[in-house]
Amino acid sequence: MDYRKKYLDFFAAKQHAIVASASLIPENDPTTLFTGSGMQPMVPYLLGARHPAGIRIANSQKCFRSGDIEEVGDNRHTTFFEMLGNWSLGDYFKTEQIAWMWEFLTREVNLDPARLYFTCFRGNEELEIPRDTESAELWQKLFSEKNIVAKIVDFSDQIGMQGGRIFYYSEKKNWWSRSGVPANMPIGEPGGPDTEMFYDFGEDLELHEKSDWAAEHCHVNCDCGRFVEIGNNVFMQYVKTEHGFEQLPQKNVDFGGGLERITMAAENQQDIFSTELFRELRQSIETLSGKTYGERAAETYAFRVVMDHMRAATFLICDGAIPSNKDQGYFTRRLIRRAVRMGHKLGIENNFSEAVSRAVISAYVAAYPELKIKEEQIVSDFVKEENKFRATLEKGLKVFEKQIDEINSDLNKMTGQWLFDFYQNFGFPFELIIEELKSRNFKLSDDQISKMSGDFSSVFEEHKNLSRVGAENKFKGGLGDHSDISVRYHTATHLLHATLKKVLGEHVEQKGSNITPERMRFDFSHNEKMTSEQIAEVEQLINAAIARDYPVSFEEMTVDEARAKKAIGLFGDKYGEKVKVYTVGDREAPAEADPTAPTYSREICGGPHVTHTALIGAFKIIKEEAVSAGVRRIKAVIE
């Protein structure tokens, strides 16, 4: 059953514009590497910007959360997922949203109402924010129409469920703002309560990988595995002022529900990897390995890692995150290499990434046709990365043999740093090192393994913390804060994009950008290193366009109108019915990337930009380099 289509059709019938998923790589957002939620691309519109498609929006958003990589292997964690979303931008509110979600879950997905539970915001007396009794009572009324008594209770996280079906929780669970809980919100920040939806998989312990659900104070948010959150309705209705929290004049609704988890509930299948969504992937790996998913615990873990990581890496490559040692590509490489290792555990010795990646594409091509368009590039990147890693793995095993001889059976020399260095240099995770030691007849007690694991984890966590601090410093500021310098850089990327197409050829397409107050970075498709003459020509043309002081303006139009006006940008299925098109120069004249022409560039973009090019400043390219096969990078500054 295609629950993605069911959801989108359902909200299309409720007069919602269905828009395509944004890229997994955020456009002009230096604050994060990946799109990690359905809300992320919608934040500007939730904060008041006008969406080209209107005030009722719905979609299925591709999401990737790198922090969940190490969690994958249980029955419900994935790094890649699809977030079904619908938004009201100042239109309908709680009454309509709650009724529609009930209708969708009980009629379209056909979930048994007796297995549904809901949580609502408890309120905060100190901040004078009332509890969300309206949402709780709306859910209660819907239950009563099904002849189900739905008791509303509080403090289930402290004293158990008390026979309840609707529960109040604090702002740590049932409040949303960009700054977290209400007390942390700055003046002017919007936020509001949310009501979450849970499905009960029942008390059959055979369904559970964790069995502590029967503890005295079990509740729907206890993460024991019995109850799984399948959706969250956010009601942005407050703004923090100097006088406390006040009602927003425009109240928004933001719903997000995991497609994978809704499918789990619909199939009453607690193992996410046993659902229909993973059928083609499971069959592909079973054919390659000669093993059956679910027969042995160790093999089940490996199956899950391969399925998740190959699916995620396929979508990442499609959106431009080519395997590399930096930024988004680092995570793509990490996913592929971990999948290769787990394939090895399943007995797949020969290259398998081509077959598995093609299975992913086959499973998702109807919803994401760009996968088919880029299929050969995706497969090629997979095969190259797998071959490269297998060579590294072979080299690592030789080094491992040598170092084992030097250690001379003294496991005390295998410090946490030694273990981590081997992991970092050769991709050997801790469990693979233990396997290799056991294969060489090292006698390892549980205590020794536990100590080594603790030492490795300690160094690993220290490295992650350092990396996180580095990322925060690298991506702080930038276009995310709409500062003056960032906006100037943003307009400069439009000039650069148009100029590269003129100097290098029409094959040039933007592959990503990153803007900080210190510099801009622009990735683009091109197979050769730029010559010094080409770099000089690009600089000269851009600075001449800046000096001409072109006006910069935008207008909203359909995608077909934008195409007719020869606006650049990737069309495909990325946009809704209407888009913003920014023109540098005369809106009526054709764009020529020539500083003597009336119009220099025309590009689809959400903004913001300067009003005249003279505000940008002098443009200077400081570096041109390769990123991956067929992709180059320019780093530039404005002075």
pLDDT exceeds 50 at position 70: yes
Number of H helices, E strands in the chain: 19, 17
DSSP state of 213: G
More confident residue, 74 or 98: 98
Q: Using an 8 Å Cβ cutoff, are 182 and 194 in contact? A: no
pLDDT exceeds 80 at position 513: yes
Q: Tokens 């009003």 belong to which residue?
A: 611
Give residue 574's pLDDT band: very low, low, confident or very high (50, 70, 90). low
pTM: 0.71
Q: What is the pLDDT of residues 198-208, one digit of tens each?
A: 999 887 644 44
pLDDT exceeds 70 at position 610: yes
Give residue 483's pLDDT band: very low, low, confident or very high (50, 70, 90). low
pLDDT exceeds 80 at position 421: no
Give residue 85's pLDDT band: very low, low, confident or very high (50, 70, 90). very high
pLDDT of residue 479: 47
pLDDT of residue 499: 96
pLDDT of residue 204: 62
pLDDT exceeds 90 at position 160: no
pLDDT of residue 80: 96
Q: Which domains does the chain have, with CATH numbers?
A: 3-267 (3.30.930.10), 272-475 (no CATH), 479-638 (3.30.980.10)
pLDDT of residue 2: 93
pLDDT of residue 458: 82
Give CA–CA dist 339/306, Å, rounded.
5
pLDDT exceeds 70 at position 28: no
pLDDT of residue 259: 97
Give residue 215's pLDDT band: very low, low, confident or very high (50, 70, 90). low
Give residue 416's pLDDT band: very low, low, confident or very high (50, 70, 90). confident
Give residue 543's pLDDT band: very low, low, confident or very high (50, 70, 90). very high
Exposed/middle/buried for 250, CB within 10 Å: 0-12, 13-18, 19+? middle
Give CA–CA dist 336/316, Å, rounded.
11
Percent of the chain at pLDDT > 90 equals 52
Give residue 141's pLDDT band: very low, low, confident or very high (50, 70, 90). very high
Long-range contacts formed by 478-486: CB under 8 A, 24+ apart = 478/29, 478/30, 478/31, 478/514, 478/515, 478/516, 478/517, 479/28, 479/29, 479/30, 479/515, 480/29, 480/30, 480/31, 482/608, 483/517, 485/517, 485/638, 486/515, 486/516, 486/517
Q: How many residues does the chain have?
A: 639
Mean pLDDT of the 58-72 span: 88
List all residues 6 or more positions away from 251 whose beta carbon is below 8 Å from its beta carbon.
90, 93, 192, 235, 236, 237
pLDDT of residue 205: 45
Q: Residue 187 carries which side chain, given as an amino acid letter?
A: I
pLDDT exceeds 90 at position 475: no
| Count of alpha carbons within 13 angstroms of residue 232, beta-carbon side | 19
pLDDT of residue 476: 37
- Average pLDDT value for the chain: 87
Strand pairing report for 80-89 and 17-18 = unpaired
Secondary structure (DSSP) of 69-118: GGGBTBSS--SEEEEEEEEEESS--HHHHHHHHHHIIIIIS---GGGEEE
pLDDT exceeds 50 at position 481: no
More confident residue, 413 or 348: 348
Secondary structure (DSSP) of 363-380: HHTTT-THHHHTHHHHHH
Q: Give the sheet arrangement for strand 519-525, strand by strand.
A: 510-516, 519-525, 631-638, 619-628
Mean pLDDT of the 477-503 span: 79
Mean pLDDT of the 530-544 span: 94
Q: Using an 8 Å Cβ cutoff, are 35 and 63 in contact? A: yes
Q: Residue 118 carries which side chain, given as an amino acid letter?
A: F
Determine the distance from the C-alpha atom of residue 217 to the mean position of all C-alpha atoms in its chain, rounded to a whole number. 33
Of 133-147, 222-236, 449-463, which has the strongest mean pLDDT? 133-147
